[in-house]
Amino acid sequence: MNEVWRAITEIADGHAKLRIAILKKENLDEKNDDGWTPYMWAVRCGHQEAADALKNAGADSSGHFDALLLNAVFENNITNCVHALRNGANPNRKFAGSSIMECAADHAQYPLVQEMINHGAKVQSEMLFTVCHWETADWKISGQEDIDAYAKVVEAFMEAGADPNVRNADGKTPLEAIAGDELTAIETVLQNAQQRSSGDSNSTQSLNLR
């Protein structure tokens, strides 16, 4: 991590460190493990003054709308989400190991998730196990509103092609993985999806026997 990155991550202390790093002609476009540049990080954090300083110094700003999309997730801002997507933001871009769309799903932001799916976000069946942190000890749900929001995200994943019968490393389906957690709304979505899947399978077998 060069001085530009350190300055961006410590921006709360002021812009002096960033100005010094720019004057020292540090690499303005050094990428982190996810391929994000200091400019993108500034936009993602909502530090417009820092982003402008980097851009004016010659930093690559091509990832602006991807960063704005991630900022929209952290701010839960549907307006900025739509704006970023309409200007070419990539909802499949990785951040901390997950796609931007998955980040929105993790926060139960159904409107943002649906908008990203409409703009090409890829949905994989395995995401059903991580969308609500079902397999991590630090998962917290504060009330019925959260459960209903996550249920909408799960339903959006189903409509985008996620398989409710997918199994994790323990051999459990998503429905089995949350058994006993009193997540009725989510369980209902998964049960309905499994029933539809079973019905489609039976219909296909019936057709094949004719």
Report how many helices (DSSP H) and strands (DSSP E) the chain contains, helices first. Answer: 12, 2
Q: Give domain status of residue 93, yes or no.
A: no
Q: Give domain status of residue 157, yes or no.
A: no
How many CB atoms lie under 10 A from the CB of residue 99? 20
- Segment 112-125 shows an average pLDDT of 96
Q: Give domain status of residue 155, yes or no.
A: no
pLDDT by residue (tens digit) across 146-186? 788 889 999 999 999 999 999 988 899 988 888 876 778 88
Task: Tokens for 142, please give them.
Answer: 């504060």
Domain containing residue 11: 1-62
pLDDT by residue (tens digit) across 63-88? 999 999 999 999 999 999 999 999 99
Report the domain count for the chain.
1
Q: Which of 38-42, 143-147, 201-205 has the lowest mean pLDDT?
A: 201-205
Residues 174 and 142: beta-carbon distance below 8 Å? no
pLDDT by residue (tens digit) across 4-58? 656 666 655 456 677 777 777 778 888 988 899 989 989 998 888 889 988 998 9
- Cα gap 82→78, rounded to integer Å: 6
Q: Give domain status of residue 43, yes or no.
A: yes
**Non-local CB neighbours of 24 within 8 Å, separated by 6+ positions:** 3
Task: Tokens for 134, please give them.
Answer: 């079902």
Q: Give domain status of residue 72, yes or no.
A: no
Q: Give domain status of residue 67, yes or no.
A: no
Q: Give domain status of residue 38, yes or no.
A: yes
- For the domain that residue 52 is a member of, what is the CATH number? 1.25.40.20
Across-strand partners of 99?
Answer: 94
Could you tell me the CA-to-CA distances from 144 to 64, 100, 128, 141, 184 in Å, in that order? 36, 25, 19, 8, 9
Q: Give domain status of residue 106, yes or no.
A: no
For residue 132, pLDDT over 90 is answered with no
